[in-house]
Amino acid sequence: MTSLPHPQSVALGVQRAFDLVIFDCDGVLVDSESIAIRVDQRVLADLGWELGLDEIVERFVGKSEAHFVAETERHLGVRLDADWEEKYQHWYRTAFERDLAAVDGIEEALARLRLRHCVASSGTHAKMRRTLGQTGLLPTFEGRIFSASEVDRGKPAPDLFLHAARTLGVEPRFSGT
């Protein structure tokens, strides 16, 4: 896989021998993780599973929605209805509309970045379009947004990043660094 430069190098506009920078969305481009974790805590409690914020981070951050559902069902010993999330969507929507912002300094870093770039995330396309749109970052990534829903194995498997690179015509290279 193409090695990525240190974030400070990107922010300073330093050129390296890279063909593509692949950004994650939540927590890297948009400051959404802390918001989602707090709402996840409320949702899980409402379902009957009391977890601390640190435990939610450890179990769920960076993993797919399917993982969240499977782990919740396993712990609770129940099968969630197909539409179980509908009850909670307004909690997320309200929190995001109120609190979501771009990560500090990311707009400046992206403006100075002279390398091809895209976003690849465990989030759905709809979620990324909403959060990137709300923070003003959507035009920067339009046409170069990749979701774990496009591959068989999401993060931490490399499939999503390999898919993004190949779709954009970049053959991933593996290095020892």
pLDDT tens for each residue of 121-134: 988 999 899 999 99
pTM (2 d.p.): 0.72
Average pLDDT of the residues of the chain: 89
Concatenate the DSSP letters of all residues of 143-174 into one string.
T-EEEGGGSSS-TTSTHHHHHHHHHTT-----
- With a cut of 50, say whether residue 79 has pLDDT above it: yes
User: Domains in the chain, please, with CATH?
Assistant: 7-31+101-167 (3.40.50.1000), 33-99 (1.10.150.240)
**pLDDT score for 7:** 52
